[in-house]
Amino acid sequence: MGEPKDSVLEGLTKGRSPGREPVHFFCMHHDRPLMKTYVPKAAEALAARKWWVVDATGLPLGRLASRVATVLRGKNKPTFSPSVDTGDFVIVVNAGKVKLTGRKAEQKLYTKHSRYPGSLKQESFQSVIQHAPEIPIQQAVKRMLPKNVLGRTLLGKLKVYPTAEHPHSAQQPQQLQLKTA
């Protein structure tokens, strides 16, 4: 009776199961250990969220929107995953002072259609920035995010205000530096 126990213990200590192939902790084709892929959990991403504030004064609309979309998505973090919301909240202030390069301020049109015949409405950038200065930034960022449920959730973390005041001081937002070149 003592003999089988010793051989079983000896087989287990050598990384082998009794009567089976050896237990491998290595890749089948290489002599190195397998790498573990990090997959962020939604709860971990929720706990790691930060608040950022961006001053849009004098910044080009497209460059501002692409940087904001990157932070909303979480692509600036090493824990980025395309299917998990790992991004942060972004507050954009002074949205009415964003600029467009070239003649786009006169030529850019915002269109909407209710899907009824004859209901196409077009409005220039200058008139939109007069009555609703947050719309150009929201539209530009929205079009840079995924077109699915995740994209709509990410857009909810974008807060745009036409002036320098915002009601999110309790979250202690940090200043997000953008390159102006």
Q: Is the dihedral of CA 59, 63, 67, 72 positive or negative?
A: positive
For the entire predicted model, the pTM comes to 0.79
| CA proximity to 93, closest of 139, 142, 162 | 162
pLDDT bucket at 31, cuts 50 / 70 / 90: low
Rounded CA-CA distance 126/123 in Å is 8
Residue 77 CB coordination number (10 Å): 17
Domains in the chain, CATH or no CATH each: 1-36 (no CATH), 42-175 (3.90.1180.10)
pLDDT at 13 over 90: no
Give the torsion sign (CA, 109, 66, 177, 84): positive
Question: What's the whole-number average pLDDT of the chain?
Answer: 87
pLDDT digit string (tens) for 46-98?
Answer: 999 999 999 999 999 999 999 999 999 999 999 999 999 999 999 999 999 99
Residue that wins the pLDDT comparison between 30 and 176: 176
Q: With cut-offs at 50, 70 and 90, classify the pLDDT of residue 36.
A: confident
What angle do the packed helices 61-73 and 135-142 form, to 10 degrees?
A: 60
Residue 26 has pLDDT above 70, yes or no: no
> Residue 102 has which token pair?
């070239």
Q: Which of 11-20, 22-31, 80-89, 169-178 has the lowest mean pLDDT?
A: 11-20
Helix or strand holding residue 43 (H, E): helix 42-47
- Give the pLDDT score at 178: 84
